Amino acid sequence: MKRIGIDLGGSKIEGVLISGNGEILSRKRIPTIRSEGYEAILNRIVSLVRELIDNGSVDYTIGICTPGTISPKSGMIKNSNTACLIGKPFQQDLEDKLYHTILMDNDANCFALAEAILGAGQGFNTVFGVIMGTGVGGGIVINKQVHRGAGLIAGEWGHHKIDPNGPKCYCGNRGCVETFISGPALEHQWTSITGKSLTLEKIVNEKDIPGYNEWKEEFLTHFGLALSNVINILDPDVVVLGGGVSNISFLYSDGLRYVEKYSFSDYPNTPIVQNKLGDSAGVIGAAYLGEWS
Ligand SMILES: [Zn+2]
């Protein structure tokens, strides 16, 4: 059984064909061109899938990774950075055009699945994968299967509330994890403390500037609170970090101590590791959606 994975992003659509033993046989990227609208995006995905199917093979699965979520009630896309998909029966329309079952999941679940099967979570039973980038998301994988939950919100870590008086979040609540440890939130906190604007990449190299220690202390406190809450409930075998913020090295040293500080365990030793697949996790996770065999 071969696997086709498609990662639908705001600017590019990436596709892979993976063999039964996990070898990437073919890989292709095309632009999304959101301005051309819904029907054009569907048609581009259809032609990408057809290009990836080698020699007319009929024995394959197709999985799609998209940043949006699918309403369990209506099957419609609920939110997406590709706005023309919102409210559309995207999965059904693709199935109709391709005459094939389409498996679909969000980027955090695909990330967690890819890392659990081929990345830093390999060999661990319960994997909590988190994306800390422009937004914050999470996915739970147990025995190489995504755990989606009754309402398909399992692992939505970015919207855990860790401070009811915290910053307002786009979801309508206050103090969500995303409002503290996403890339933009961390840059905003730096500006509040120092009065200056800097990119996150530059901030972590500004160790001698007054305000750095305060910024880092706040960051790690929120990181520790947010992850220890998950560990106290899920008790995963490993936590894999992804997204731009996961490149900050002190998360894997000082960060561990803050997670331990707030963890209920007498023996806090959950490994917290950096991802191995980088930007490829979305498309690889998409390919592995559905039955693992
Ligand atoms: Zn929120």
Q: How far is the CA of 159 from the centre of ligand 1 (A)?
A: 4
Residue 136 has pLDDT above 70, yes or no: yes
Q: Which two tokens stand for residue 223?
A: 């990181």
Q: Which two tokens stand for residue 62?
A: 């197709």
The three-class DSSP label of residue 35 is helix
In a domain, 19, yes or no: yes
Cβ-based neighbours of 116, under 8 Å, separated by 6 or more: 122, 124, 127, 129, 141, 144, 240
Q: Please state at what angle helix 212-234 crosses helix 254-262, rounded to 10 degrees.
A: 50
Q: How far is the CA of 131 from the centre of ligand 1 (A)?
A: 15
Q: How far is the CA of 156 from the centre of ligand 1 (A)?
A: 10
Which residue range forms the structural domain that includes residue 184?
120-275
Q: How far is the CA of 173 from the centre of ligand 1 (A)?
A: 6
In a domain, 55, yes or no: yes
Q: How far is the CA of 10 from the centre of ligand 1 (A)?
A: 21
- Nearest-angstrom CA–CA distance, 158 and 82: 20
Looking only at the bridges linking them, the beta strands covering 24-31 and 12-18 are antiparallel
Q: What stretch of H or E contains 92?
A: helix 90-98
Q: How far is the CA of 158 from the centre of ligand 1 (A)?
A: 7
> Residue written as tokens 């739970």?
140
pLDDT tens digit string along 7-28?
A: 998 889 999 999 988 899 999 9
Confidence tier at 292 by pLDDT (50, 70, 90): low
Q: How far is the CA of 67 from the centre of ligand 1 (A)?
A: 15
Q: How far is the CA of 51 from the centre of ligand 1 (A)?
A: 39
- Nearest-angstrom CA–CA distance, 246 and 228: 17
Mean model confidence pLDDT for the chain: 92
Judge if 84 and 205 occupy the same domain.
no
pLDDT tens digit string along 90-102?
A: 999 999 999 999 9
Judge if 168 and 259 occupy the same domain.
yes
Question: How far is residue 30 from each of residues 9, 51, 167, 243, measured CA to CA in Å?
Answer: 10, 12, 37, 22
Judge if 160 and 93 occupy the same domain.
no
Output the 3-class SS for 192-226: HHHCCCCCHHHHCCCCCCCCHHHHHHHHHHHHHHH
Judge if 71 and 169 occupy the same domain.
no
In the predicted model, what is the mean pLDDT of residues 129-157? Answer: 93
Residue 293 confidence (pLDDT)? 45
> Residue written as tokens 């030793």?
269
Distance, CA of 160 to chain centre: 15
In the predicted model, what is the mean pLDDT of residues 67-94? Answer: 80
Judge if 95 and 128 occupy the same domain.
no
Cβ contact 103:92 at 8 Å:
no
Q: Please state at what angle helix 183-194 crosses helix 212-234, rounded to 10 degrees.
A: 150
Residue 46 confidence (pLDDT)? 95
- Please compute, for residue 30, the number of CA atoms within 13 A of its CA located in the half-sphere on the CB side: 18
Q: How far is the CA of 165 from the centre of ligand 1 (A)?
A: 13
In the predicted model, what is the mean pLDDT of residues 288-293? Answer: 70
Q: How far is the CA of 138 from the centre of ligand 1 (A)?
A: 13
Residue 55 confidence (pLDDT)? 62
For the chain, how many structural domains are there in total? Answer: 2
pLDDT tens digit string along 190-220?
A: 999 999 999 999 999 988 889 999 999 999 9
Q: How far is the CA of 180 from the centre of ligand 1 (A)?
A: 10
Judge if 94 and 177 occupy the same domain.
no
Residue 267 confidence (pLDDT)? 76
Judge if 20 and 45 occupy the same domain.
yes
Of 67, 57, 66, 70, residue with least CA distance to 100: 57
Q: Which two tokens stand for residue 258?
A: 């803050």
In the predicted model, what is the mean pLDDT of residues 127-155? Answer: 93
Reported pTM? 0.93
